[in-house]
Amino acid sequence: MQVLEFIARKFSELGDQTYGEQVTQRQHALQSAYFAEQAGAGDAMIAACFLHDFGHLITGKEESIAEQGIDAQHEELGARFLARHFPPEIVEPGRLHVAAKRYLCATDAAYYEDLSPASLQSLQLQGGAMSTAEIADFESGPFFQAAIELRRFDDLGKEPDLETPPVEYYLAKLPPFLREKA
């Protein structure tokens, strides 16, 4: 099965799952991409935002895993899958979006205060705020700024009643980035 068909199928089958927020996985992906597009981000960032939580749709774990005290490491699982099909500018910001949350919590007290209860819960499972050494390591990475940018769009994508373009709209933005043409 071609990767775009697989992505579409996963959003169709599992996109209605929630993950502790007031939006579904589908709504969150669409909103994150929508906010990136509205802010004038490039197509690579829009695609990265759309796919950043794809690991949630392929973990095979139930929706309430974080409530059970388990970190499914969705960012790593999603990145491993996506890296077979997309270049680093699509994959790496998503792989690093959890690290970006940890970074922002360590460097911006106001950011921490604005996290939703579900984000606070997952933050603890993901290692909490970064240490000084982790901050320096994160800042030295080539996708540091892109991960922070994606994280900001991720945080916006939690509006239960926001209208966005459908999955197909954002799927149509992916073919130019495919490593093998679909």
pTM: 0.90
Higher pLDDT, 123 or 73: 123
Is residue 146 scored above 70 in pLDDT? yes
Q: CA separation (Å) from 131 to 93, 143, 152, 159?
A: 20, 19, 21, 31
Residues 6+ apart with CB under 8 A from 87: 177, 179
- What is the structure's pLDDT at 22? 87
The structure tokens listed for 145 are 């700024």
CA distance 132 to 108: 13
Tell which residue, 76, 52, 78, has the closest CA to residue 151. Answer: 52
Q: For the chain, what are the domain ranges? A: 3-176
Per-residue pLDDT tens over the stretch 156-176: 999 999 999 999 999 999 999
CA distance 129 to 42: 29
How far apart, in Å, do the first and last CA atoms of the chain sit? 10
Count of all residues that appear for the chain in the document: 182
CA distance 66 to 19: 8
Per-residue pLDDT tens over the stretch 100-112: 999 999 999 899 9
Residue 117: pLDDT band with limits 50, 70, 90: confident
Which residues, in sequence order, are bridge partners of residue 18? 24
Per-residue pLDDT tens over the stretch 11-43: 999 999 887 788 999 999 999 999 999 999 999
Residue 68: pLDDT band with limits 50, 70, 90: very low
- In CATH, the number for domain 3-176 is 1.10.3210.10
Residue 82: pLDDT band with limits 50, 70, 90: very high
Residues 22 and 160 sit within 8 Å (Cβ to Cβ): yes
- What is the structure's pLDDT at 125? 81
| Window from 55-64, 81-90, 103-112, 122-131 with minimum mean pLDDT | 55-64
